[in-house]
Structure 1
Amino acid sequence: MDASTTARGLGRAAVVAIALALTVTGCSSGGSGSTGDAAKTVSPVQDAEDVNAQPLDKVKDGGEVRFPLQQWITQWNPYQVDGTYGDAVEIMGYVEAKIFRTDAKGVYHPVPEYLTSAEVTSSSPQVVTYKINPKAKWSDGKPISYEDFKAVWQSTNGKAAGYNIADPSGYEQISSVEKGADDQEVKVTFSSPYADWQKLFSPLLPASLLSGADVFNSGLVEKVPVFGGPLKIGSMDKSAQTITLVRNPDWWGTPAKLDKITYRVMDTPAITQAYLNNEVDDAPAGNATAYGQLKDAKDTTIRTGTPWDEVHISFGGNGALADQAVRQALGRAIDRDALIKVVNQGVPVEFKKLDNHLYMINQSGYQNNSGDWAAFSPDAAKQLLDKAGWKEASPGQPRTKDGQSLELHFVVSDGSPQQQLDMVSAVQNMLQQVGVKLDIDKVSSKEYFTKYIDQGKFDLASWRNTGSFPLSQTVAIFREPEGDNVFGNYSKLSTPEIDSLLKKASSTLDRAEADKLYNQADAKIWELGHTVELYQRPSILAVRKGLANYGAGSLADTDITKVGWEK
């Protein structure tokens, strides 16, 4: 279950929306096709980048890089609820105004091509003043100005009807966005403090693409009409399932090294072979089958890192699972250590168990809040089911209540490799031991999210959340839905207490106090039976030798202008 989709390499750290892995894939090969267990001999980098860092004078001018894409991108607006697919968010950071980048330790830095400065100029109330580079402009010739910041805020703060937003966090705390000394100075005033203000407005979009709910929701469907980054979209060929990026001829900064980036949509199992056929220049190597085939491939390096990247099993909130005690019972019935062993076979990097929904193991503030809620105990699971009124049946038969059998469905992508299916089969067996019948429903990989996860049509499902840094990025995953808008909370499970703790934490400027609040919320998320965390997924990537300034890392963003081929 080392789902290897979503944004590639380092580009996930500061995306505006939660970047989701939209196809679930496996982490290793257990059962049939297993390559056996590999010694855990590789330690991925923690606070560094495994990217073959090279100065620009060592990188060729020109050339092409070819990347796999795991699904066709329909919605390009990263602020819209359907625009949070990781690859789409990353690409928009290349073609629009990504005003901040993080380094390998997650520290934000203004991108000088867009901002000459950005700082808190008042603390009560909190005011942030941005000074825009006077050279910065959109492809339609309009200068980047305070109007673009204002349009992002007004369309994303949740106050205007009809805007299907991904996450109002941060924007709903803003009371005004105003012109400063001139059009290139922006004063953003917050009604309550917001600690992670640097993650807002990035990528910045032109006001013309956000003017009205219809434009916000559909103006970036299948097209990106206005650009503001070092690259622009050169072509979208839906029949060939390819998207190309080329240099933006109106870019005012240092030109990108590459002439072109080509993305091609392909099913997860096909990526390894495409790499071996020299059709793409990187490929996930996080499962045994892929690693075994790629580690000794010609002209290949394996790059590893520890980004914000978690793998979990989510529970739905319908039917029998509307009862918190039943969800808690599933948490006690699932042996996480055993599942991690299944998926970690054949890969030389240890997949470390994750006991926190909000922090990664290598983040400051991480602590184990799982308590007993994820401690494997079939007896405890049976007791919880008994108390919930699900009566034991004859051996091998599911429990019953009010004439109904306790039968659940685990939704998986039909593109899942064997190790993913082995993991799901192991869950099926574990639940059977406590009287729960688990059906495994294979669905189209192209519809896995759009028709099932996004709609909450699952009892159990597994995917990755990536790039949820800074911590306020995680709020959307657990916040209470509003009407049809679930934000990132596809289980639709929440409590006012969790909502309150997460919002208070994101408004707390004292880091130690914020950590305390986030961890209090995490303990409540475990108790809710929302999600069973499995492990922090290391980045294990096969990369064509000679590709510079690109690969695997911790919390850093990719500077796409520096990516290219060594001289």
Structure 2
Amino acid sequence: MRRTTVLAIAAAASATLVATGCGSSGSDDKPATKQAAPSVDGQGINVRPLSDLKQGGSLRFRIDQWITQYNINQVDGQQGDAQDIIKAVLPDLFDADTKGAIHTNPSFLVSAKVTSTSPQVVEYTLNPKAKWSDGKPLSWKDFEAQWKALNGTNTAYEASDTSGYDHISKVEQGADAHAVKVTFNKPYADWQRLFDPLYPAAYIDTPEKFNKGWAEKAPVTGAAFKVGTYDKTAQTVTIVPDPAWWGPKPKLDSVVYRVLDSSAGTEAYLNKELDETTALLPEDYKRLAKAADTDIRRGARWDEVHITLNGGRGPLKDVKVRNALQAAINRAGVNESFSKDLTFELKPLNNHFFMPNQEGYQDNSSEFDKYDPEKAKKLLEEAGWKDAGEGKPRTKDGKKLTLDYTLSAGGTSAQSDQAELVQQMLGAVGVKVNIKSVPANDFFNKFVNTGNFDLVSFRNVDAVYQTMLTSTFRQPQGKNLFQNFGSIGSPEIDALLTKAGETTDHAESIKLYNQADVLIWKLGHSIELYQRPQIDAVRKGLANYGAFGLADTDYTKVGWVK
């Protein structure tokens, strides 16, 4: 169920604040001994052969909010829980392994390969058995409709990300009814991230269907599981095996997703209402690690915690004010305050595209990202915000320098703690921060996705392909923010990201992404904090599931040990 098409975003409420939890420092309050972070291919999923698993049983998860949009390529479909569910019920053409290497999924593809480089041509051979839940076979027409919806030529399609699709010049039938030929007008290195998952043409081939046809439901499915029930009253979505599925039979009878505040996850797990929950926060880990019939499973996921700055409105339109915030926030202090009781190493994050345990990682932070309150004050003075005295917000043209820090009401106490720390740090340089709590179900749809905030914290996850981050840093077009919710970008950054996406030289693409990253830091796009490894509490009898790291989930292999 892991995303390989569009970058997933996850609520800050999902333990955004404490990166890793493997226990406290002990009753004697001595500093915790820090363990190394998991390797890039680290995962813990209790690998077992299918012969060890029983047929039947249910799996129960917590999700952050009621899903309002199941088209994950639409601007409101970026929430990570929606993406997890949709990957379980739609054709998943490619999967990542533990090192992030991409492989075709034989249930949907016989093959997929580049057959020409000038121009670039990719030819797909579909599994002849693959079909939609309405009985129609998968075909080249599904590819064509998805391309037309996402290539950016018709802005009535509210697309979250057009990168890659805008490089395609033609989609047509290949050698037979099960073949697809995609021709590019420019090279595109990450072609495997396109059309994954695949949506049915008949349900996305007009802007109306694309934008509204997947609101609160998936009208058609095409995988091992289908949606069984949507219960808005109980706030649950249940997926069940599709009897028309042509691939390996799933072991589970159902997977139930239940909307629940993150702060209630530990209690729900201990009450046997959930089969998995995060064990990142120290107070949660202490209880979960002692729970009966529980494994603590660890992995190295692409998962970054940051604070987004909104340059699209108010005082933060001024880059000097954004740079001042960068200098005023002690990133190391924020990280240390939440990791001091943990035994897991928490590394600072100084790159927007690569994790510290990834090839390509280098420190691209700017001169403004080193904690320096005096520099922050000087920048604010240069921006015209005058000192009003200790404890008072600065003023300019009769206005006070105040910003909102938007939080989800369904978050953890650690989320609130981070906001309060930032509030104190910015207050010390004359920036008043108002902490604004909003309903969990509205956090993304009404605030993050629409740019209705000054400061906000959430996570970007599973960017196995760097091109998945293009929409996070590209300049918005009109009201379409893509995933650049703070509306901070430049033509130079756009050009570098486009060039990086077009080069097939891996070393050169890494170089270009890092060049773009240098500019992103200087513009004050966001304040990176740390990589968040996976620390999950999982029922001991659950096999082939847990902390996947960079790998994808195969729900046909998930089940309970006999």
* Residues 29, 484 of structure 1: alpha-carbon distance in 2 compared, 3 angstrom cutoff: closer
Question: Which secondary structure state, in structure 1, belongs to the residue aligned with residue 106 of structure 2?
Answer: coil
Letter in 1 for 2:165: Y
The answer as to 2:94 corresponding to 1:105 is: no
Matched, 1:93 2:87: yes
Q: CA-atom RMSD, angstroms?
A: 1.7
Contact 1:174 1:190 in 2 (8 A): yes
- Per mean C-alpha deviation after superposition, the further-off stretch among 487-496 and 436-445 is 436-445
Deviation at 1:40, TM superposition (A): 2.5
2:425 corresponds to 1:433: no
Amino acid at match of 2:9: L
DSSP 3-state at the match of 1:338 = helix
Pairs within 5 Å for 1:126-145? 126-145=120-139
Counterpart-to-counterpart distance in 1, 2:195 and 2:519: 30
Offset at residue 472 of structure 1 (A):
0.2
Distance 2:422 2:220 in 1: 47
Quick one: which of 462, 479, 489 aligns to 1:484? 479
Structure 1, residues 509-566: CA drift from partner, whole Å, max 9, x if none? 1011101110000000000011010000011110010111111132110111100011
Letter in 2 for 1:20: I
Equivalent position to 2:379, from 384, 404, 421? 384
Cα 1:366–1:28, aligned 2, differ >3 Å: closer, same or farther?
A: closer
Aligned to 1:46: 40
Matched, 1:273 2:252: no
Say which of 203, 213, 220 aligns to 1:209.
203
Match of 1:238 in 2: 232
CA offset at residue 104 of structure 1? 0.7
Question: Deviation at 1:178?
Answer: 0.7
1:549 aligns with 2:544: yes
Q: Which amino acid aligns with 1:521?
A: A
CA positional deviation for 1:345: 3.9
2: CA distance between counterparts of 1:96 and 1:428? 43
Report what 1:450 is aligned to. Answer: 445
Which AA in structure 2 matches 1:359? F
Query: Matched residues, percent identical?
Result: 49
Specify the alignment match of 1:24 in structure 2: 13
CA deviation after TM superposition for structure 1 residue 28, in Å: 4.0
Name the amino acid aligned to 2:7: I
Structure 1 residue 181: Cα displacement: 0.9
Which residue matches 1:60? 54
The superposition leaves residues 135-169 of structure 1 with CA deviations (integer Å, 9 ceiling, x where unpaired) of 11111111111111111101111112411111011
Cα distance in 2 for residues equivalent to 1:154 and 1:29: 40
Cα pair 1:406 1:435 within 8 Å, conserved: yes
Q: How far 1:38 moved relative to its partner?
A: 4.1
CA distance in 2, matches of 1:542, 1:560: 18
> Match for 1:147 among 141, 149, 154?
141
Corresponding residue number in structure 1 for 2:152: 158
Cα deviation for residue 13 of structure 1 reads 4.6
In the alignment, is the contact (CA less than 8 A) between 1:316 and 1:460 conserved in 2? yes
Unaligned segments of structure 1, at least 5 residues:
1-10
Deviation at 1:12, TM superposition (A): 2.8
Distance of 1:362 and 1:268 partners within structure 2: 27
2:463 paired residue number: 468
CA contact 1:193–1:509 (8 Å) conserved in 2: yes
Does the C-alpha gap of structure 1 residues 243 and 25 become closer, same or farther in structure 2, counting only changes over 3 Å?
Answer: closer
1:508 to 490, 493, 503: 503
Secondary structure at 1:553 match in 2: coil
1:39 Cα deviation from its structure 2 partner: 3.5
Cα shift at 1:34: 11
Give the deviation of 1:503 after TM superposition.
1.1
In structure 1, C-alpha distance between the alignment counterparts of 2:99 and 2:225, rounded to whole Å: 26
Matching residue of 1:530: 525
Alpha-carbon distance in 2 for matches of 1:34, 1:84: 37
The equivalences for 1:100-499 within 5 A come to: 100-317=94-311, 318-499=313-494
Provide Cα deviations, 1:427-462, integer angstroms capped at 9, x if missing partner: 111112211111211222221112211121211111
How far does residue 23 in structure 1 lie from its aligned partner after superposition? Answer: 4.7
Q: Report the residue type matching 2:420 in the other structure.
A: S
- Return the letter of the residue paired with 1:355: N
On the 8 A contact 2:75/2:449 being kept in 1, the answer is: no
Distance 1:225 1:544 in 2: 32
- Aligned length, in residue pairs: 554
Classify 1:416/1:223 alpha carbon distance in 2 versus 1 (closer, same or farther; 3 Å): closer
The residue that corresponds to 1:3 in the other structure is: none
CA contact (8 A) 1:28 1:345 kept: no
Which deviates more from structure 2 when the two are superposed, residues 183-192 or residues 402-411?
A: 402-411
Q: Could you tell me which amino acid in structure 1 is paired with residue 540 of structure 2?
A: K
Q: Which residue number corresponds to residue 516 of structure 2?
A: 521
Query: Residues 255 and 564 of structure 1: is their aligned pair in 2 closer, same or farther, counting only changes over 3 Å?
Result: same
Worse-matched range after superposition: 403-412 or 94-103: 403-412
2:43 counterpart letter in structure 1: E
Residues 52-95 of structure 1 deviation map (CA, whole Å, 9 limit, x = unaligned): 11111112121111111111111111111111211211211111
One-letter amino acid of the structure 1 residue matched with residue 448 of structure 2: I
Deviations 1:396-423 (A, max 9, x none): 2121111111111111122222222222
Cα displacement string for residues 32-57 of structure 1 (whole angstroms, at most 9, x for unaligned residues): x9997643346434313211111111
Would you say the 8 A contact 2:43–2:300 is kept in 1? Answer: no
Task: Indicate conservation of the 8 Å contact 1:29/1:345, yes or no.
Answer: no
Q: For the residues of structure 2 that align with 1:38 and 1:444, how far apart are their CA atoms?
A: 36
Shift of 1:120: 0.3
| Cα offsets for 1:256-287 (capped at 9, x unmatched) | 11111111111111111000000010001111
2:2 matched to which residue of 1? Answer: 12
2:14–2:411 CA contact under 8 A, matched in 1? yes
Unaligned 5+ segments in structure 2 are: none
| TM-score, scaled to structure 2 | 0.96
- Give the C-alpha shift of residue 474 in structure 1: 0.5
State the shift of 1:29 in Å. Answer: 11
| Letter of the 2:450 counterpart | Q
Q: Is the 8 A contact 2:326 2:527 kept in 1?
A: yes
TM-score under structure 1 length normalisation: 0.95
Report the Cα offset of residue 117 of structure 1: 0.6
Per-residue deviation, 1:24: 2.7
Shift of 1:483: 1.2
- For the 8 Å contact 1:29–1:419, the answer to whether it is kept is no
Contact 1:13 1:308 in 2 (8 A): no
Instruction: Give the whole-Å Cα distance in 1 for the aligned partners of 2:151 and 2:319.
Output: 31
Q: Is the 8 A contact 1:390 1:401 kept in 2?
A: yes
